[in-house]
Amino acid sequence: MDPADVRQKLKELMVTELNLEGKAPSDIDDAAPLFGEGRGLGLDSLDALQLAMSVEEKFGVRVPEGDEARSIFASVNALADHIVRAKAAA
């Protein structure tokens, strides 16, 4: 899988599944934090659960829970890297 394609699909998925009103996929910075306040998206724990389920369904890769998931959900780049690695290992 092409990482750039995965990033674009992820951002589209996030906008539709997380109801990011007023946001377009192009508005989402690949390196910005997904959680917390500031320049990131400001997602919360419910968003994380929804995003994990959506990623597992759309991309067919397992998303771990707990501390292991923190680094994976750091940014669009980190999540895309996880998907690309998981698909390559499958």
So where are the chain's domains? 3-19+28-89
Half-sphere exposure of 80 (CA within 13 A, CB side): 21
Contact yes or no for 61/83 (Cβ under 8 A) = yes
**Distance of CA 60 to CAs 3, 17, 22, 74, Å?**
15, 16, 28, 20
User: For position 40, what pLDDT does the model report?
Assistant: 77
pLDDT in tens, the chain (90 residues): 899 999 999 999 999 999 988 899 999 999 999 987 666 788 988 999 999 999 999 999 999 988 888 899 999 999 999 999 999 998
CATH superfamily of 3-19+28-89: ACP-like (1.10.1200.10)
User: For position 39, what pLDDT does the model report?
Assistant: 67
pTM of the model: 0.91
Contact yes or no for 59/45 (Cβ under 8 A) = no
